[in-house]
Amino acid sequence: MERVLVTGGAGFIGSNFVKLLLGRKRKVHVTVLDKLTYAGNLKNLEEVINRRDFTFIKGDICNKKILDEILPRTDIIYNFAAETHVDRSILEAGSFVRTDIVGTYTLLQKTLEHKIDRFVQVSTDEVYGSIARGKFRETDPIEPNSPYSASKSGADLLVRAFHVTYGLPVLITRSSNNYGPFQHPEKFIPLFITNALEGNPMPLYGDGRNVRDWIHVDDNCRAIELVGRRGKVGEVYNIGAGEEKENIYIARKIIDLVGASEDLLTLVTDRPGHDRRYALDSKKINRLGWKKRVGFDKGLETTVRWYRRNESWWRPIKKGAFKKYYSAMYGKRISQASKRKGKR
Ligand code: NAD
Ligand code: TDX
């Protein structure tokens, strides 16, 4: 039986990944190591928390002692643990450097000491920077633009170096923007869905024409699992669904699906350093045997339905500390935009 460690497994993609692993016929034991930051949520793991083939450990990937306890019982590591929100990294970058770089380094060092079979680093297309035309390939240079993507790039470079220098059996996945159930409402799609459901403004950055290549979280999880099982050690795999959309297109679709008023759409001051476009060439992961199953329009429809049916999941998250973050991030921008609207 394979013993799998999923770090950051109480977050959005990690928790979907754990459920995918435990839903398969193959026998596995899954351990989640998660610090339960503001983004981690045990409710995401409710379905599996009492299973005998599942263990939850609250802890930090920077904590060597905890790793020394867990790693002797581990065959493969999937490192999802990270600070993940670009906007928060603009407000405060220190926690990103600590978890995404130092945390990954700590895990790599302990993986080496405990001779683990495989280490899968869950990275992002954001490490490549912005691309005006064409698509990023795995061999393209890394040119990160935000403190978040710079921290993830630092991690990728350490992962690579541990392979080249020490022969550590690593693999890296770089996926595009994920969406689907259990995504924290700070991120674009769930923020817009929940604001629309609440009848609150939907703050679209800049001209709303930035492009992201969206992938349903289930498709990404299947791809990451495939890379862990069949990928070639030392290699990077892009994971994109080829669903390039302008933000404004998505915002309008959400308004339609929720049945909200178009007046909620509010163009606000742009994110500093906002990457214009991401697009991935995913031929390599296709050759490994993966292809997307969920088209964007259908996936967005089911995601809207999930947030509609699961208010008890997201409403508590939007209270308390989130409110403070929200007013620091959006308060001034939204009131400026309303004044501009009023003048017209
Ligand atoms: P998330 O913010 O929802 O979850 C991150 C999880 O990591 C949380 O449960 C949090 O508690 C945990 N965590 C944070 N710091 C930790 C630490 N020091 N030790 C242990 N646990 C810690 O993030 P997500 O969207 O699920 O992203 C998961 C991974 O996928 C990240 O590495 C991210 O960079 C990568 N990724 C995300 C996307 C996306 O669109 N969401 C796209 C590409 C790559
Ligand atoms: O309020 C908003 N208004 C808005 O216009 C927010 C939160 C976002 N946006 C725009 C910015 C981006 O162009 O929507 C797009 C998507 O924004 P995010 O959800 O913040 O994602 P992004 O910055 O693209 O990064 C995401 O994808 C790659 C994840 O947060 C990362 O963890 C992942 O690596």
CA 9 / ligand 1 centre spacing (Å): 8
Query: Does residue 203 line the site of ligand 2, with CB under 6 A?
Result: yes
Q: Is 148 a catalytic residue?
A: yes
CA distance 232 to 240: 18
CA nearest 85: which of 140, 9, 11?
11
* Chain segment 265-302, per-residue pLDDT in tens: 999 999 999 999 999 999 999 999 999 999 999 999 99
63: confidence class by pLDDT, cuts 50, 70, 90: very high
CA nearest 188: which of 274, 101, 81?
274
| 188 and 84 Cβ atoms separated by less than 8 Å | no
Query: Does residue 126 line the site of ligand 2, with CB under 6 A?
Result: yes
| 31 and 44 Cβ atoms separated by less than 8 Å | no
Confidence at residue 277, expressed as pLDDT on a 0 to 100 scale: 96
Strands of the chain, DSSP E:
2-7, 28-34, 54-58, 76-79, 118-124, 170-175, 177-179, 202-205, 211-216, 236-239, 244-246, 265-268
| 241 and 278 Cβ atoms separated by less than 8 Å | no
342: confidence class by pLDDT, cuts 50, 70, 90: confident
344: confidence class by pLDDT, cuts 50, 70, 90: low
Three-state DSSP state, 192? helix
Tokens of residue 322, six digits = 């989130």
CA 31 / ligand 1 centre spacing (Å): 16
Tokens of residue 295, six digits = 């088209």
Query: Rounded to 5 degrees, what are φ and ψ at 191?
Result: -65, -45
Q: Is 243 a catalytic residue?
A: no
Confidence at residue 278, expressed as pLDDT on a 0 to 100 scale: 95
Q: Which residue's C-alpha comes closest to atom 24 of ligand 2?
A: 177
In this structure, the strands spanning 170-175 and 118-124 are parallel
Residue 239 clears pLDDT 90, i.e. is over it: yes
* Chain segment 202-211, per-residue pLDDT in tens: 999 999 999 9
Q: Which of 78, 148, 307, 326 is catalytic?
A: 148
Residue 218 clears pLDDT 90, i.e. is over it: yes
b/e code 198-211 from CB counts within 10 Å (16+ = b): eebbbbbbeebebb
| 48 and 111 Cβ atoms separated by less than 8 Å | no
Confidence at residue 26, expressed as pLDDT on a 0 to 100 scale: 81
| 142 and 157 Cβ atoms separated by less than 8 Å | yes
CA 85 / ligand 2 centre spacing (Å): 8
CA nearest 15: which of 39, 142, 25, 24?
39
Three-state DSSP state, 147? helix
Residue 325 clears pLDDT 90, i.e. is over it: yes
DSSP assigned state of 91: H
Residue 341 clears pLDDT 90, i.e. is over it: no
Using the atom order of ligand 2, give the atom closest to the CA of residue 84. 32
Whole-structure pTM over 0.85, yes or no? yes
Q: Which of 34, 87, 125, 186 is catalytic?
A: 125
Using the atom order of ligand 1, give the atom closest to the CA of residue 61. 19
Residue list, ligand 1 pocket, CB within 6 Å:
7-8, 10-14, 33-37, 39-40, 60-62, 80-84, 99, 103, 122, 124, 152, 175, 177-178, 184
Three-state DSSP state, 255? helix
Using the atom order of ligand 2, give the atom closest to the CA of residue 202. 1
Average pLDDT score over the chain: 97
CA 117 / ligand 2 centre spacing (Å): 34
CA 302 / ligand 1 centre spacing (Å): 22
CA distance 193 to 253: 10
Q: Which domains does the chain have, with CATH numbers?
A: 2-180+217-239 (3.40.50.720)
Query: Does residue 282 line the site of ligand 2, with CB under 6 A?
Result: no
